[in-house]
Each structure stands twice: as structure tokens, then as C-alpha cells.
Amino acid sequence: MKVLLIGGTGLVSTPITRFLLERGDDVTLYNRGVHEARILAGAKRILGDRRDYASFEAQMAEAGRFDCVIDMVCYVPEEARSAMRAFRGRIGQLIFCGTVDVYSRPEPPRGRGGGQAERDRGPRRPDTPRGRQGEP
């Protein structure tokens, strides 16, 4: 599978990158090159800044088609809109990896349910610097 990770060198995305490479996928990372030591052998890399939307979209058009894009660093609405423009009609699947940093610390679980998912109804109260990036 041809996979693009936007980011790919962080605490969560590095193990994802490792898993995909070990599985035999064709992995490309798009990032700014800040965490050079975390680029895993076998991963291709495209350097750029996704906040330079025109350049990002042009780079993605040049990169071609992907079966899957995993976006690890989308924090503000314009970044999401840019990704939609960049990948419309050219990818099989887009996975957006959100962050708990958008919300305050979760409340403790209610009751002893069977681990069932619950619809998110909590207000957004970002209480970390990363979470506050997307505040209006």
C-alpha cells in the first residue's frame, strides 16, 4: 500500500511509520525536517511546510496518488481545507488523527460499562499550547 504520513516523526506517528514499513508498505513522510533523527530507514520524505498552503498542495499534486493519507498534524480549519484541496480524487482513504489536546482532561468513566464508545458531547476547552492553536 502506498501511504503518506503528514508529520510522521512524532511520539505517535513514529511507531505508525515503523509498523507500516515493517508490513512492507511504501511509506512517504511529509514534514519540515525538524526531527531528523526520527526518520526511519526505508521511508521516503518530502520536505515542506503544510501551512504554506499553495506550496503544500502543489507538492502533493506532484507526489501523485496514495492509497492512504494519515494526517497527524492538522490543527486549524484552513489546514483541513488545504488537505481536502490537495487530495480530492487522488487518494483512497484519509485518516485524520485528532488530539486530546482539543479538550480539557476527560472526566472519569461513568459506571462499569462494557467499554462502549460514547458520543463526544463535551465542550472544547483546550488546556495545552498545542490544543490552543486551533482556537478562534
Every domain of the chain and the residues it spans? 2-96
pLDDT at residue number 94: 94
In the predicted structure, residue 135 carries a pLDDT above the cut 80: no
Q: Is 128 exposed, middle or buried (0-12, 13-18, 19+ CB in 10 A)?
A: middle
**DSSP 3-state assignment of 119?**
coil
Report the pLDDT value the prediction gives residue 85, as an integer from 0 to 100: 97
Per-residue pLDDT band at 30 (split at 50, 70, 90): very high
**What helix, strand, coil percent values describe the chain, rounded to 5?**
30, 20, 50
CB burial string 58-97: b at 16+ within 10 A, e below: ebbeebeebebbbbbbbbeeebeebbeebbeeebeebeeb
Over range 55-61, report the average pLDDT: 98
- Which CATH homologous superfamily contains domain 2-96? NAD(P)-binding Rossmann-like Domain (3.40.50.720)
pLDDT tens column, 63-110: 999 999 999 988 889 999 999 999 999 999 999 887 655 555 556 665
